[in-house]
Amino acid sequence: MGTRWSARIVVNDPAQAESLTRGLQAVLDGVVATMSHWDAASNLSRFNRAPPGEWQQLPPDLATVLRAGLDIAARSRGAFDPAIGHLVNHWGFGCPGEAGAAGSAPDAWRSIALDGDAARRTADVRLDLSGIAKGYAVDAMALHLTRLGLRDFLVEAGGELRGEGCKPDGTPWWVDLETVPGLAMPLTRVALCGLSAATSGDYRRYRLEAGTRHSHSIDPRSGHPIANGVASVTVLHRTAMAADAWATALTVLGQAAGMALARAENLAVLMITRRGEGAVEALSPAFAAMLE
């Protein structure tokens, strides 16, 4: 996944730390082996190489992520698209040396058919799960710890977080949400107890080309990097996978359409949009209720 991870776990025996670290690393390695678009040997890469029309049996976790991605693609009307791979490569955010199609049709996700754990491409589209797989990895870490009988922990991978239970003193896992570099915005602190947080920001990855800054967030509908002024979107959700994908979708939609969808879906969302030299902060009703 090319990112760092961390975990804070309440245990009775500190000697468990080493085995827990190995176990969590194995979980993340498994997600990479299944869903990495950088690894030619991953299940996802093999699926992308299969001829269109040919059914492929997917590992259950890949099928789970793809199913969730297709669901959010439909609910966001294509603002999130798990089949955006050609556009990602075209704009230089994919694997080096892999060309992408600038004119990829909108709604590429509709060219993915899923039946149980089997899937096929019905056209020349390319899966890229970067907007959801990191969140799934955090959920997989949490599931691993839960299966070991652990109930109190805070896990994180690449800035996506999930908290369960409480700290040893009985207080919640309080976390400060990411701030946008260069913007003087107040810190927002939330309690992650049975809750996940994911943030999408225009400051994380971008490319400079002929003096123009291209965000890594690409609008699948237009085929171009976003230019809607959205600096960051944080979503709080029960699962990190859903929070991750919704943060991506709402970033693409922008403030007006994004916050309207957040209200319709009852999503807890904090959106920061650039305005001149400053920024405007917008909170969905569900997010505001969590701060009360």
Q: Return binding residues.
A: 131, 244, 248
Q: Any residues with CB less than 8 A from the CB of 192 and at least 6 apart, and which?
A: 154, 161, 162, 163, 172, 173, 174, 175
Do 272 and 171 form a contact (C-beta atoms < 8 A)? no
Strands (E), the chain: 5-9, 56-57, 112-115, 118-121, 153-157, 160-164, 174-176, 189-191, 195-201, 206-209, 212-215, 218-219, 224-225, 230-237, 268-275, 278-283
Taking CA atoms, 157 is separated from 2, 106, 173, 277, in Å, by 10, 30, 16, 31
Contact yes or no for 108/82 (Cβ under 8 A): no
Q: What does each C-alpha distance from 259 to 38, 173, 200, 254, 278 come to in angstroms?
A: 33, 27, 15, 8, 19
Tokens of 172: 């919640």
Q: Indicate the Cα dihedral angle 77, 82, 83, 89, nearest 10°.
A: 120
- Residue positions in the annotated binding site for Mg(2+)? 131, 244, 248
Q: 3-state DSSP call for residue 81? A: coil
Tokens encoding 24: 């969590």
- Strand bridging mode 206-209 / 118-121: unpaired
Q: Which residue has the tokens 């943060």?
A: 247
Strand 153-157 and strand 160-164: the pairing is antiparallel
